[in-house]
Amino acid sequence: MRNKKTITASVMLGVLLIGIVTAGLMGYLSNIITGTIEVSGPVFYLDGDESLLLNDNDTTETNFQIQPGVNTTFFSDRLGIDEIYKSQFDIHLWLDDDKKGSTLKVIIIKEDGEIICQKSIFIKNANHDHEELICNSKDIIDLTNKDKIGIVLSGAEENLGNIDVAAGHKYNSNGNFNRIEISKNEI
């Protein structure tokens, strides 16, 4: 009889100890780690062969003359995605205007010619000064997995001279390139 009581007491003590250990482990194992992650959108770099390189600034250096009324178009490779979120396009260009007072039209397009967004900029200075344009898509950009996106640079008809765009060049020690930075447009 005494063995039964000892066994019963041992089993109950064992269950109690297992419960205590399990409760302690649950508190330890159920801790949630929190943190913050900053995700950057894609960056397209203007390349000297009239293409846009996705997240790759190893670009060919070439100077383009944008003449009045003439388009120069840079396209990406096929993106392989179905859509791009409603986007803000931060367009960074280093431009030289030989007549100091030309207008450059900048259009973000899909490969089929559909306009995603467009802006114009009046160039006041020469010497490859930095110009930044912000252009927003109106909605989600529907694509097929074979679509490309592009940027069209066009000199306004009324321009008196050419606009020089040096694709692929680094313009200062900070390593800035002609590029399009895409981020989610929250508005």
Segment 91-129, tens digit of pLDDT: 998 888 777 778 889 999 999 999 999 999 888 766 777
Total structural domains in the chain? 2
Q: Are residues 129 and 64 in the same domain?
A: yes
Residue 155, classed as helix, strand or coil, is strand
In degrees and rounded to multiples of 5, residue 5 shows phi and psi of -65, -40
pLDDT at 136: 94
Question: Token pair 């800035």 is at which residue?
Answer: 176
CA distance 122 to 74: 21
The one-letter amino acid code at 157 reads E
Q: Are residues 114 and 47 in the same domain?
A: yes
Question: Token pair 């996106």 is at which residue?
Answer: 149
List the domain range (segments joined by +) for residue 124. Answer: 43-184
Q: Are residues 28 and 119 in the same domain?
A: no
C-alpha dist (Å) from residue 32 to 22, 35, 38: 18, 10, 19
Q: Are residues 79 and 163 in the same domain?
A: yes
CATH number at residue 153: 2.60.120.260
CA distance 92 to 45: 10
Q: Are residues 180 and 108 in the same domain?
A: yes
Extract the residue ranges of the chain whose pLDDT is less than 50: none
Please give the full DSSP string across 99-120, using - where no structure is assigned: TS-EEEEEEEEETTS-EEEEEE
What is the pTM for the complete model shown? 0.75
Q: Are residues 31 and 118 in the same domain?
A: no
